[in-house]
Amino acid sequence: MFSGKEFLFKRVEPVLKSFGNNLFNLGVETGHGQRMKLLNNSLIHTAFAITSEALAFGEKGGLDMKTMLDVINVSSGQNFASQHFFPNHVLTETYDSAAQISISDKDIGLFVEEARAQGTGHTVAKAASGVISMLADQSPDVDQTMIYPFIRDWDQSEE
């Protein structure tokens, strides 16, 4: 994600390609690349949190995790968390996506701050941010995929 003049984009394109193949010039206005990164990160962190909550609900009710993922991933509830993080890092119980929960906490927190500052909706992201922050406050260095057991084991029956 990049914002800036096209000739500058062309000049740095080889360097950007060393980081990834999907390059997007989001226009000439400064900050559009950062804004896009914030909103994209908010989507995955929010999706991961709600997917964790839904799968914990299913697991507590006796459903098999792999079967739930098989159904979800060919249905309308599919998302990157259900397609990538859960099969590769949660179902395997390796919890090794190589990103710390403190980074997730920072990312979604920045989105909430910026959305609040510009007066746009952030209620759902704020709720996800609250849950992510609780785990990050307790264990900042754990992998972000540890949000699943954190949510699964959190007894909210009295709340």
Is residue 139's pLDDT more than 80? yes
Element (H, E) at 135: helix 123-138
pLDDT for res 2: 81
* Helix runs in 5-31, H state only: 6-17
Query: What does the buried/exposed string (b/e) look like for 116-148 if buried means 16 or more CB atoms within 10 Å of the residue's CB?
Result: eeeeeebeebbebbebbbbbbeeeeebbbbbbb
- From residue 97, how far is each of 48, 73, 85, 104 by CA, in Å? 13, 19, 7, 12
In the predicted model, what is the mean pLDDT of the chain? Answer: 95
DSSP string for 55-74: HHHHHHTT--HHHHHHHHTT
* Mean local confidence (pLDDT), 134-145: 98
Spatial contact of 91 and 78, defined as CB atoms under 8 Å apart: no
| Domains of the chain, first to last | 1-30 (no CATH), 38-153 (1.10.1040.10)
Least confident stretch, 29-38, 42-51, 77-86, 134-143: 29-38
Examine the pLDDT at 74 and tell me if it is beyond 90. Answer: yes
The more confidently predicted of residues 54 and 28 is: 54
Identify which has the larger pLDDT, 107 or 28. 107
Q: How confident is the model at residue 59 (pLDDT cuts 50, 70, 90)?
A: very high
- Name the residue with higher pLDDT: 28 or 115: 115
DSSP string computed for 88-124: IIITTT----S-BHHHHHHHHHHHHHHHHHHT---HH
pLDDT band of 151, cuts 50, 70, 90: very high
Band the pLDDT of 28: cuts 50, 70, 90: confident
